[in-house]
Structure 1
């Protein structure tokens, strides 16, 4: 089953590598981008002939995993792209960044600084113009209540990070002890000035505690680092697939010798052709050829997907094709030990907590939701409640589903599980499979709260709307 899931993921990824440009069908809700890249061109690190530029963002059809490619019709260094949105309300707030798909670029091709934001309106023409060096204005601090920040909290095996510790009302005036909720991506929980968006956990906690709907609680936000993907994933994702040639090459000279068709074990075909000594690829289901960047004489890079195509001599077939990406992830257990052996002891020692498992919860979203479920099930004697928010079930061939399916039975932990319908292809289906496996293992409506949120995207604004119900699920006094 794991083998089939990996190849299914490969097939889905290939089909997803179709990028829409300004020539796309446009609607009244289209957002027109003008992207000035003359600075990077003059600095010499951006090569318009071989590298691509576009937009990534948090509202479909944009995503943070795929670049919506722009074009430079006038060859003046100013790129244009029209992104058609489907608005179900009068307006939509979109977070986005410029992304360059290439090799050896600053910050791996990501525009520096916090995300940009633009409000688009239904039935109107919307546009935004920005240059690579533009930065969004500083956002005001939005902390509500009392949040203590511990800067550069050390770890022996991981990068240092900040801790954000929300203390309930009247903490200073009382001597009582409190349950603790530990959450990942700590800089996104309480203060919009940190990354531009926030979960508004502090606002929700202040209101619900003040009204008596939930018991007072300490909430610890564990900041992420540049190694977030590695730390929030339980396994190393190895991405390598071999394809066989099924049609002859067009010519016998380089790079034309690599032209022709290659098939995956699932029967999907990738086509290659050459034009003006440049190798192009046609992805299954695609309608446009994508240029490849030569890395060596025998290997080429597809920047939009981060895939390297390596052509290796194969007896009787001329060449076989290896499609690969760098392995990533797999430090989840080390990160878990950091929480258990460093963060939790520090919080228990310096704040008035109830350290027992019945008073300790863990939560996070996206990859943070993935690592929450993994670590929670790994340490049921430490965490009795889990907030598994928009989890990245797709990781490593949906390995988390196999992990849950290998459980002997329910751990009797209380689990919140949710997903939005606008979080990407297959996200809801994966969450439903995960829920079904949990039910099969013995969870029920009494300790598993499963929500599919209609129209919710994969961002902090969507999660903020669900935070009050999450806190009620964990700490309701009613």
Structure 2
């Protein structure tokens, strides 16, 4: 493996797929997902007209009842890393069940189920925003294609979530389907596709969480040498050109961004500052409908994301306000 390929693998630690899965596998043949709180409903390998088949699991909190109140829905990428170290690509998990179940019981987060969407070997192509990619100069498009092994597949991946998976969830589980109760979240490249989702489907998603977002697209190509200023400028300009007309209405949406300061997260701050300026110009207000946070000492891995995941969960899915009686 050459150095660039190695660095790509390191950059996308959170996305390492579990063992390759084929479309003819049955749910019984798949490694079970164990949780400490709530329970898992395994949908097995889900087929799609728009994207490659992949495993999907649904986490139901301890208070969920099929005949009880309807729950909000949080869609999360890299589903193999969310609940169980045994299925996670690098033996670290987000601990979503351990964090979200008590937050719901303590009424710090509205009752919510989580849809864990496994990635595939085409993860990079499925998670890079196609319309942002289109703003890159041709030579940089070619570089991304070389690193990611082809053109972006993100539009098809989102159509799978919105047009196929979402109706399946609504039919099978007792959930709310309105925008205000539908959120999406991910880390690294999963942060990019979460932002792309709320931009492209603002009537579907009311909130999006982007943790340790991998804005650079490229990676240092000489050991610890930083991304070049030219690479930084080209990629930042491409995201700015896409986001300015595409960010959803701040009156009806919430955005959460963060990054650490160690490993790959060390190169994200200046990219995030450029994005934050676009978000502010769109009319988002800090601590109201937008959070952007820096966590010194935290790295680019599930251990770090798990340590702070309560923050986006509480911000993106706050308890619903009860109507005022008259």
TM-score category (smaller protein): 0.7 to 0.9
Distance change >3 Å, CA 139–CA 149, structure 1 → 2 = closer
Indicate conservation of the 8 Å contact 1:405/1:441, yes or no. Answer: yes
Task: Give 1:414's aligned residue.
Answer: 254
Decide whether aligned partners of structure 1 residues 354 and 459 sit closer, same or farther in structure 2, where only a CA change above 3 A counts. same
2:23 aligned partner: none
Say which structure, 1 or 2, has more relative contact order (CA 8 Å, 6+ apart).
2
* Aligned-partner Cα distance in 1 for 2:11–2:108: 38
Q: Which entry has the higher C-alpha Rg, 1 or 2?
A: 1
2:68 maps to 175
**SS at structure 2 position matched to 1:418:** strand
Q: Does 1:459 align with 2:301?
A: yes
After superposition, the CA RMSD in angstroms is 3.4
- Counterpart of 2:55 in structure 1 is 162
2:273 alignment partner in structure 1: 432
Shift of 1:161: 0.9
Contact 1:359 1:384 in 2 (8 A): yes
TM-score by length of 1: 0.53
1:329 and 1:345, CA in 2 relative to 1: closer, same or farther beyond 3 A? same
8 Å Cα contact 2:276/2:292 also seen in 1: yes
Give the counterpart of 1:449 among 275, 281, 291. 291
In the superposition, the TM-score normalised over structure 2's length comes to 0.75
More helix by share: 2
Name the counterpart of 1:373: 195
1:409 to 1:416, Cα distance in 2 relative to 1, 3 A? closer
Gap runs ≥5 in structure 1: 1-50, 67-94, 97-109, 115-137, 243-306, 308-323
State the 1:394 CA deviation: 1.7
- Per-residue CA deviation, residues 259-278 of structure 1 (Å, 9 max, x unaligned), is xxxxxxxxxxxxxxxxxxxx
Does structure 2 conserve the Cα–Cα contact (< 8 Å) formed by 1:180 and 1:217?
yes
Deviation of the 1:200 alpha carbon: 0.6
1:184 equivalent to 2:130? Answer no
Alpha-carbon separation, structure 2, partners of 1:379 and 1:409: 9
- In the TM superposition, residue 435 of structure 1 has moved relative to its aligned partner by 1.0
The 8 Å contact of residues 141 and 191 in structure 1, kept in 2 or not, is answered as yes
Aligned to 1:470: 312
Partner of 2:171: 349
**1:383 paired to 2:205:** yes
For 2:57 and 2:148, the matched residues in 1 are separated by: 33
Q: 8 Å contact 1:409–1:442 — kept in the other structure?
A: no
Match of 1:215 in 2: 110
Answer yes or no: is 1:228 the counterpart of 2:69: no
Q: Note if 1:405 corresponds to 2:244.
A: yes
Instruction: Please identify, of 325-334 and 426-435, the stretch whose mean Cα deviation from structure 2 is larger.
Output: 325-334
SS, match of residue 417 in structure 1: strand
TM-aligned CA deviation for residue 53 of structure 1: 8.6
Q: Contact between 2:35 and 2:84, CA under 8 Å: does it hold in 1?
A: yes
**3-state DSSP class of the match of 2:204?**
coil
1:173–1:232 CA distance, 2 compared to 1 (3 A): closer
CA distance in 1, matches of 2:93, 2:175: 25
Larger strand proportion of the pair: 1
Q: Are the aligned partners of 2:188 and 2:213 in contact in 1 as well (CA < 8 Å)?
A: yes
Asked if 2 retains the 8 angstrom alpha-carbon contact of 1:366 and 1:389, the reply is yes
Q: Secondary structure of the residue that 1:346 maps to in structure 2?
A: helix
SS of the equivalent of 1:416 reads: strand
Match of 2:10 in 1: 64
How far apart, in 1, do the equivalents of 2:75 and 2:199 lie? 15
Check conservation: 1:231, 1:335, Cα contact below 8 A: yes
Q: Are the aligned partners of 2:40 and 2:58 in contact in 1 as well (CA < 8 Å)?
A: yes
Secondary structure in 2 matching 1:455: coil
| Distance in structure 2 (CA, Å) of the matches to 1:325 and 1:355 | 37
- When residues 52 and 448 of structure 1 are mapped into structure 2, their CA distance, relative to the original with a 3 A threshold, is closer
